[in-house]
Structure 1
């Protein structure tokens, strides 16, 4: 009897488990059918997903290096694919064929604000990513007005003066770390053109130290936890407060005395919103900090790469020297805005260095609505609302179907007749972004780098004596790793 009861109980348990199993299976089948019937057809065209371990696998692959991950996945998954990042999905668009919507979409569809919120503690309240889109557009108008050609011509005179004064201290010969030298010259130039004479002449050391603390407060962890109470963030916040006090005094002095200067600071002081409201001291300070952050690192990094490549490739070094000789025969030793604009060979050499080494390796947006994209192979994908959408200048600038021998330094690829960046259509070259959010400081950056290198080329013989530099992938703004040692000798006679 006990054995019979035991057998019956076992049968009941097995039947119970079987019934539960069948119920679960039936539920899954019904859910799948309902999903197919109720979810829009577009949901069946999601981009392929990067293979990774559950939960943290996607994050680990991203933190290992997004460029490494893209290099591994692009050949397998194509130009559109999604990475699951814990509670977020990042969908990558690689190449001009799929990037048009990324660059041209209105803010209501693809927004910068959410993904760049980590900048707010550094830039400060009430500016750029701490305001809604309409206000941000007006603030970008202030940037545009401060970078008009009439303003740039005055800035160039200041750039040239800073370069002359800086390199006058080099002596007749020696060895220098070119990376270190250019970083310091760029911050001097930026201080004069952007922050104003008061900072450059009297407060440079103080302000430079404060910007150093601000800069060091922008860490990879800051992107995820910008207000984490760590020492670097506390120093950042103290520096931000002190900078506000310094600029409040300068702004107040200029307003009270009526004294004006030809610098970006003055442009921001004089700017007014469409409703007639003038900018506040807090806004002016925040806009200046944003401008300096946008330009300082990128210009010094690109200046360094330009020099490294020119000194490695003698044929292009000879070409830019010949261009300088030609310009000096026409204009003498003068360098101004118009003469810098004639330096086409030097321009192409800078542009090629920037193609190979864009300082911002990732551009991000937040998707507010679903949209579709078609790859160059004809595959159609639907990108869901809520995805982070990303593109990578560092990878897209080296696509072999757009740029011949893409890993080779070849400035002539941009010369008339080739123009590889235009042959494949818009957004083939995205070192400065593009579309609605293209870099406003691009003309300023080229003029600054040209002013520095035209002076160096005319006045010094240079030789790269350290190994060709490597890329510092660990930096927030990806630049040059280690020192770039150069031996210099001052030219005793003019270049011609």
Structure 2
């Protein structure tokens, strides 16, 4: 036993000596500054494993030291990661050097969700990615496509309103307790599924047992075994969806659904649009259009309930703009600047992900005055940039008014200090769909129902996990129909 202990002590000592000798070797590369305290072989992994969310930890480092204000190099095991913490760094990386950092890093988690890195959000930059990007921007997210899919969003929102009204009606006019986390997820799932298959999916379908894979995919998988299990479950669900709707979609001469378009393209080019590619597009739609949109709605309602004066202003705009006794429609959104500003301010404070989806350098290159080795991961700390006091007065305060007079008037450097959907050629192509869905849903629930907190304490605004920004707790609130909207809501039943 003593010999075994001595062996491990000797081995550890030798490894430390080797690490120290390597660190003393002359380094001709001019790398970005790196925080002190990196441990042998594991580097700065202690920051990732700390109790505080990583985006907050790195924001504190970048704001307290000018040397990390733009770029910060972290060593996470064998991987180098450069964190961008300023608009200047974002512009340098994703505009001036966008092609150099257009690829995605590979990892165990991505191995299970990328369909061999053919899925649009994870594919390397090249002809395959450009083809997928062209498909999504022209067939799903173009202005004409969004206009054509407005009925889908209307149906999904009306399904939510009908569900809320039924629950409230069963409570004899008293405020009814509602879990908005669940309701908003059902809304976005219903909307996305309807876009996929081209028809309404009915009340309450989204949260049945067969769809629990979605929570597994986004919230549960942390180890390889869980990743493999949830990936297999998800893949089987997509296969069943494809087979269920193939015949029906192809029988339609002018397919209106995403699957219908994909099946038509598959007949023309079966190699480019094979089963794997179609499943990757389905996955991208669900992950990009469902949970993140629901989270933004959840944060927006939480902020409004914690700020009743803002809620009153929003309701005043809705009542002034929308004629009495009718529901909100897509065409009304452009006439609701304050509702839009609430959404923009929500996305500033709580972007869908605190770190933008990571990029990786395809080869050795330069970033500003720094050398960037090949294979270096690049992430932008959007949460830190959105809360930088040099860029945003009172950055932690919820003030939608800043968007009524700031970004809409064309401030300089706008697009680099406000990046909730990313930026550059790998930015999210679905921002237009997300903003329309959020505005329609938020405006509708505010106009049709009265909302109250449960108790006198502010709603908890703490994040639940480190790398995404869902709320830590379910959003349970009190809800009852507004008297002036009772007739409209009763006609939905």
**TM-score, structure 2 as length reference:** 0.81
Cα shift at 1:94: 0.9
Deviations 1:430-460 (A, max 9, x none): 1111111111111111111111112112211
2:355 is the counterpart of 1:362: yes
Q: How has the CA–CA distance of structure 1 residues 348 and 291 changed in structure 2, closer, same or farther, with 3 Å as cutoff?
A: same
CA contact (8 A) 1:247 1:285 kept: no
User: What is the CA RMSD across the aligned residues, in angstroms?
Assistant: 3.1
Cα shift at 1:273: 11
Aligned counterparts of 2:125 and 2:424: Cα–Cα separation in 1: 19
2:127 is the counterpart of 1:139: no
Aligned counterparts of 2:305 and 2:231: Cα–Cα separation in 1: 41
2:168 is the counterpart of 1:171: yes
Unpaired segments ≥5 residues, structure 2: 1-20, 170-174, 489-493
2:281 is the counterpart of 1:287: yes
Aligned counterparts of 1:403 and 1:420: Cα–Cα separation in 2: 15
Deviations 1:193-230 (A, max 9, x none): 235438668975365233334335543x4xxxxxx3x2
2:465 is the counterpart of 1:471: no
Cα shift at 1:419: 5.1
Unpaired segments ≥5 residues, structure 1: 1-27, 222-227, 375-379
Q: Which residue of 1 aligns with 2:392?
A: 403
Q: How has the CA–CA distance of structure 1 residues 385 and 480 changed in structure 2, closer, same or farther, with 3 Å as cutoff?
A: same
Aligned counterparts of 2:341 and 2:383: Cα–Cα separation in 1: 18
CA contact (8 A) 1:153 1:336 kept: no
Cα shift at 1:256: 4.8
Matches within 5 A, 1:42-441: 43=29, 45-55=30-40, 56-64=42-50, 65-74=53-62, 75-76=64-65, 77-79=67-69, 80-104=71-95, 108-115=99-106, 118-125=109-116, 126-128=118-120, 129-130=122-123, 133-145=126-138, 146-168=140-162, 169-172=166-169, 173-197=175-199, 205=208, 207-216=210-219, 218-219=221-222, 221=223, 228=224, 230=225, 232-254=226-248, 256-258=250-252, 261-271=255-265, 279-329=273-323, 333-363=326-356, 364-374=358-368, 380-416=369-405, 422-441=411-430
Deviations 1:170-202 (A, max 9, x none): 324311122222122222222212354386689
Q: Which residue of 1 aligns with 2:442?
A: 453
CA contact (8 A) 2:465 2:472 kept: no
Aligned counterparts of 2:434 and 2:86: Cα–Cα separation in 1: 25
SS of 1:176's equivalent?
Answer: strand
Q: How has the CA–CA distance of structure 1 residues 207 and 284 changed in structure 2, closer, same or farther, with 3 Å as cutoff?
A: farther
Q: How has the CA–CA distance of structure 1 residues 83 and 234 changed in structure 2, closer, same or farther, with 3 Å as cutoff?
A: closer
Q: How has the CA–CA distance of structure 1 residues 402 and 454 changed in structure 2, closer, same or farther, with 3 Å as cutoff?
A: same
CA contact (8 A) 1:357 1:479 kept: no
Aligned counterparts of 1:483 and 1:245: Cα–Cα separation in 2: 32
Q: How has the CA–CA distance of structure 1 residues 53 and 281 changed in structure 2, closer, same or farther, with 3 Å as cutoff?
A: closer
Aligned counterparts of 1:158 and 1:277: Cα–Cα separation in 2: 30
CA contact (8 A) 2:152 2:194 kept: yes
CA contact (8 A) 1:198 1:250 kept: no
